[in-house]
A and B are shown apart, each in its own frame.
Chain A
Amino acid sequence: MSKINTDTNEESTMLEIDNLHVSADDTGILRGIDLDVDGGELHAIMGPNGSGKSTLAKALAGHEAYEIDEGDVTYKGKDLLELEADDRAHEGVFLAFQYPVEIPGVTQMTFLRTALNSIREANGKDPMSAGEFLELAREKLDELDLPEDMLKRSLNEGFSGGEKKRNEIFQMAVLQPELCLLDETDSGLDIDALQIVADGINRMREDEDRSMVLITHYERILEYVEPDHVHVMLGGQIAKSGGPELAEKLEEKGYDWIEEETGIQRSPQQAEGALTS
């Protein structure tokens, strides 16, 4: 609760988003996002469905379907928007997907080792042998209470919703990224799984340079993972920022009071989305 004010020390800024406008299928979704994330910080982004939270995550990760109309994103001093998705991953950007895709016939072992070694190669490190990789993977699986046969199974195929979400955290633990974008990783988890996922996130936070942007609908996960900052997105903008107490207030009062206070409206489509959330 002590770090409500944004640290203005330039050197520790990991991610700087300036007036970001993004559209998909020629429809504007993000309308001027400003956000600074310093090294070691965890920012929670909340908001009703359709407010642009997932779009922000995918645009930052480099999904080609999202067109950058305006604005800049600086990551570790580099122009992030100039980089392809895989190059962003090599630079340490990781997106835990809201809906992890299934890739039949590709074992998680093959996939994750290839991914890890691509990142290592891009950073001038030797590839990890199968043996070393297995040792690392076993340790991380154990921490997330996942069975070892997870490595032999086809990527996300036949995984339950909860397994898919835990698997994203497992991949994050193996790849050890610097900027973690977590897109509704808590949705659809029962209380035990939520605890496991939260523990996984907290272990990653022990590295004090690592930053996280956690997108969520629910205040619930913030009881386990304490944010430094909480932002509310409405209509493709950050309508309000604050500390953890903001999340509590949302839980209590919903989003309407922010609309009234800031004059930022949900579009009809977004309001409709909110009903189903």
Chain B
Amino acid sequence: MTPPESKTIEEIADEDYEHGWSMDIPATEAPKGLNEEIVEYISEENDEPEWLKEWRLKAYNHWTEMEEPDWPNVEYPPIDFQDMKYYSAPEAGEEEDAPESLDEVDDEILEMYERLGIPLGEQKRLQGVAVDAVVDSVSVATTFKEELEDMGVIFCPISEAVQDYPDIVKKHLGSVVPITDNFYATLNSAVFSDGSFCYVPEGVECPLELSTYFRMNAEGTGQFERTLIVAEPDSYVSYLEGCTAPARRDHQLHAAVVELIAKDNAEIKYSTVQNWYPGDEEGEGGVYNFVTKRGKAAGRNSKISWAQVETGSAITWKYPSCILAGDGSVGEFYSVAITSRHQQADTGTKMIHLGDDTSSTIISKSISADQGQNTYRGQVKINEGAENARNRSECDSMLIGDECGAHTFPYIDVENPTAQMEHEATTTKIGEDQMFYLEQRGLDEEDAVRMIVNGFAEEVLDELPMEFAVEARNLLGIKLEGSVG
């Protein structure tokens, strides 16, 4: 006599990762394993100058001395770094030069992106968004290239930038995340294959959103992309990245490095919607997303703003950070992280205040459902010489069900007495009563969850560019279908 049961979590879990397909695209691959020869192979495949090869080898040799970090609040079996491939290039994208125009892009690649909802073709491409499409290890297409060149904005695969703009790359690569920085960043420095490069010249406010869409396709391959964005004085750029991967039984490693440099009065806004394959309901498979992202607000009154929606991956380990070196510089971190099923996330930020009158804002929203474990880990450091620094941190956690967990580890280190610090943290549960209220008014279970979660994450979603905000809102709802009720 009770109302009919709604769908079980298991029923929905099987259908909810819509990007779990893969395509059989011929690829040039490196053999499994990692050694100096593989590093040299990658460098040679990319036709790199000697300095970069040396740089990679230095990173590789340093990496062999390093230990994998064990401090994150996540659990996984040891990774066998000799049992994966470090390079896979779809053959269509592996020609001598990257495709000059979209006509040269392989039909299968265009079809892949079409299926992902990212049309690259001239007729259908997204309004106001220039897209760099990266499959496995290489960039396969970039839209709106000429329009950007007219403004002096360089937006291209980093492999191409190494050839065409070696001085800019050499000057900035590794300047924010040094090759010795941490285990995964150092690994990336040794084996990174492609990624996006963006250079905005002085005084230019880039009117297009620049976007990279990362897709893992090949099996048993790690993805190690490297992104470098340089904003010269008085410039502005907004950059977006999106990520998906096929459903595979094995775990796939994604260890990216992103470096941002903002000079005087420059602003970089960096948004991520991360939807790597999270694994199945038993916790089998899924992407290990071990990423180092850091921005240097180098110039006076410069600004670095991170906005991230983390919905995918079996394990997420990332702390997009800001080094506030310039006087009056501003750092922002807006984050929504969802963990459902067996997903684990240990994510947060570091705000390092070096300059005077620097300010930072941290808004972190974590949502845990099923057996998901969500950890916020954030550091705010005010250096001795940083006068009148300000920070506001807000960390809110939402729990859905009784088997998930939320954890908060704030580290606050203040060495200057003029600093002003605010920290707030809350934990809430989606209640049966909230669900009943919305359902009583006519919303079905999915709409009700979507509405509550979107409301919780509103402050962060507001920070995303419009095109991404819509996608992110839908994604939040889809990820939690069946987790409530």
- Enumerate chain A interface residues (CB-CB to B < 8 A): 58, 61-65, 67-70, 81-86, 88-90, 94-95, 97, 100-101, 103-106, 110-112, 114-116, 118-119, 122, 154-155, 171, 175
Contact = CB atoms under 8 A, between A and B. Distances in A.
Contacts of B2: 64, 67-68
Contacts, number: 97
Given A106-B451, A106-B452, A106-B455, A122 B434 contact: no
Closest 3 CB pairs of A and B: A105-B455, A106-B455, A105-B458
Contact of B447 (A61, A118, A171): A118
Interface in B288-306: none
A271 B262 CA distance: 70
A114 B432 contact: no
B455 A104 contact: yes
B485 interface: yes
9 contacts: A62-B439, A62-B440, A67-B1, A101-B434, A103-B434, A105-B455, A106-B458, A115-B438, A171-B441
A65 to B, nearest CB: 6
Given A64-B485, A83-B3, A103-B434, A119 B442 contact: yes
B442 A86 contact: yes
Given A81-B1, A82-B3, A89 B441 contact: yes
Question: Which of B432, B437, B452, B459 has the largest number of chain A CB atoms within 10 A?
Answer: B437
Contact of A89 (B434, B439, B445): B439
Nearest to B436: A63
Interface in B417-436: 431-434, 436
B144 interface: no
Chain B interface: which size bin? 20 to 34
Given A62-B440, A65-B432, A103-B455, 20 more contacts: A58-B436, A64-B3, A64-B432, A69-B1, A84-B3, A85-B436, A85-B439, A88-B440, A89-B440, A94-B440, A97-B437, A97-B440, A100-B437, A101-B437, A105-B457, A111-B441, A114-B451, A116-B442, A118-B447, A122-B442
A35 to B, nearest CB: 18
Contacts of B433: 101
A88 B459 CA distance: 33
B436 A64 contact: yes
A24 to B, nearest CB: 12
Contacts of B455: 103-106, 154-155
Contacts of B3: 62, 64, 81-85
B398 to A, nearest CB: 10
B4 interface: yes
A103 B437 contact: yes
B129 to A, nearest CB: 26
Given A65-B432, A111-B451, A103 B442 contact: no
B444 interface: yes
Nearest to A121: B442
Contacts of B437: 97, 100-101, 103
A177 to B, nearest CB: 10
Nearest to A106: B455
Contacts of B440: 61-62, 85-86, 88-89, 94-95, 97
A105 B4 contact: no
Contacts of A104: 455-456
Nearest to B430: A103
Contacts of A154: 455
Contacts of A155: 455
Contacts of B456: 104-105
B383 interface: no
B454 interface: yes
B442 A118 contact: yes
B442 A84 contact: no
A86 B454 contact: no
A86 B443 contact: yes
Contacts of A103: 434, 437-438, 451-452, 455
Contact of A82 (B4, B452, B457): B4
Contacts of A68: 1-2
B454 to A, nearest CB: 7
A61 B1 CA distance: 14
Nearest to A93: B440
A86 B458 contact: no
Contact of A115 (B4, B442, B454): B442
A90 B445 CA distance: 14
B442 A90 contact: yes
A6 B2 CA distance: 29
B337 to A, nearest CB: 16
Nearest to B6: A84
A68 B1 CA distance: 6
Question: Which of B4, B431, B444, B459 has the largest number of chain A CB atoms within 10 A?
Answer: B444
A122 B445 CA distance: 15
Nearest to B485: A64
Contacts of A119: 442
Nearest to A88: B440
Contacts of A116: 442
B35 to A, nearest CB: 51
Contacts of B485: 64
A170 to B, nearest CB: 12
A171 B437 CA distance: 12
Nearest to A155: B455
Nearest to A157: B455
Contacts of B6: 84
Interface string B454-485: 11111100000000000000000000000001
A84 B436 contact: no
A86 B4 CA distance: 12
Interface string B381-398: 000000000000000000
Nearest to A61: B440
Question: Which of A83, A94, A114, A116 has the largest number of chain B CB atoms within 10 A?
Answer: A114
B55 to A, nearest CB: 46
Interface string B47-59: 0000000000000
Interface string B1-19: 1111010000000000000
